[in-house]
Chain A
Amino acid sequence: MTVTLHAMARVNDVGGQSGFGLIAVEPDEPPFHADWEARVYALNVAMLRQGVYNLDQFRDAIERMPPAEYLAASYYERWMAAVESLTAAAAPAPRADDD
Chain B
Amino acid sequence: MSGHHSDSEIAVRVRRLEERLIDAGLTSDEQLDGIIGQILSGSPANGARVVARAWVDPAFRGRLLADANQALGELDLSMSTGPQTQRFTVVENTPTVHNVLVCTLCSCYPIGLLGPSPSWYKSEAYRARVVREPRAVLAEFGLELPAETEIVVHDTSAESRHMVLPLRPEGTAGLGEADLSALVTREGLIGTAAV
Contacts and interface: CB of A to CB of B under 8 A. Distances in A.
Contacts of A35: 11
B115 A31 contact: yes
Contacts of B57: none
A38 B35 CA distance: 9
Interchain residue pairs A-B with the least CB separation, the first 9: A15-B104, A91-B24, A31-B116, A46-B27, A42-B35, A42-B32, A20-B125, A36-B14, A20-B124
Contact of B106 (A36, A49, A62, A90): A62
Contact of A20 (B11, B105, B128, B155): B128
Given A14-B124, A48-B83, A87-B21, A73 B3 contact: yes
A24 B1 contact: no
Interface residues of A, number: 55
Contact of B26 (A20, A40, A50): A50
A42 to B, nearest CB: 4
B3 A34 contact: no
B124 A25 contact: no
B90 interface: no
Given A23-B129, A77-B10, 14 more contacts: A15-B102, A20-B125, A23-B137, A31-B39, A36-B10, A43-B27, A46-B27, A47-B26, A47-B27, A49-B83, A52-B26, A59-B158, A62-B106, A87-B20
B52 to A, nearest CB: 24
B35 A46 contact: yes
A21 B155 contact: no
Interface in B95-122: 102, 104-107, 115-116, 118-120, 122
B158 A26 contact: no
A19 B17 CA distance: 34
Contacts of B33: 42
B154 to A, nearest CB: 12
B1 A33 contact: yes
Contacts of B141: 25
20 contacts: A14-B128, A15-B102, A16-B128, A17-B128, A18-B132, A21-B125, A23-B126, A31-B115, A32-B116, A36-B7, A39-B36, A43-B27, A46-B32, A47-B26, A47-B27, A59-B106, A71-B124, A76-B2, A83-B17, A91-B26
